[in-house]
Amino acid sequence: MEPVRFHIANRGETERLGALLSELVIPGDVIGLTGDLGAGKTFFAGAVAHGVGVPEETPVSSPTFTLIKEYKGRIPVYHMDLYRLVDPGELYELGLWEYYDAEGVCLVEWSNLFEDLWPHRALVMVIELGEGEERTFTASGRERGAALADALKKAWDKG
């Protein structure tokens, strides 16, 4: 499947895209978030997390130093940040695959750092910076990830 692109004008549209994705995810989904520093990976992860029922008053912050944060929603949210990891062995020490196979949705920032160890079913969202709050999100994947990208595009186009 060809990658799907979303041209985002502002933070409100980023929240909308995250909310739409949150309506589509099911337990076991893995979402990779990649992009430059400041592209909005954590902001988007927060929009998805709040959309699956993490209370709005619960801040969703970057797990850069804790590496994994867990949130309770209608399904659990496992928010991860691989930025500080350098060795694939660290992924095994963290038990990443246990999270990937758990009954929640995984939101993984900097997933591109270990692409060769990435689940085949994952959706990857690449976020590119634009002017001001503008962003381009590119969604791609195989298997479940491709189905999510397609469903997200259809939901977005409905307005």
Rg value, the chain, Cα: 14
Closest CA relative to residue 4, chosen from 127, 150, 123: 150
Closest CA relative to residue 3, chosen from 108, 146, 157: 146
Q: Which residues share a beta bridge with 109?
A: 33, 81
What are 110-140's pLDDT values in tens digits?
Answer: 888 877 778 889 999 999 999 999 999 999 9
Which domains, ranges and CATH numbers included, belong to the chain? 4-157 (3.40.50.300)
* Sign of the four-CA dihedral 7, 13, 16, 18: positive
What are 86-99's pLDDT values in tens digits?
Answer: 777 776 777 777 88
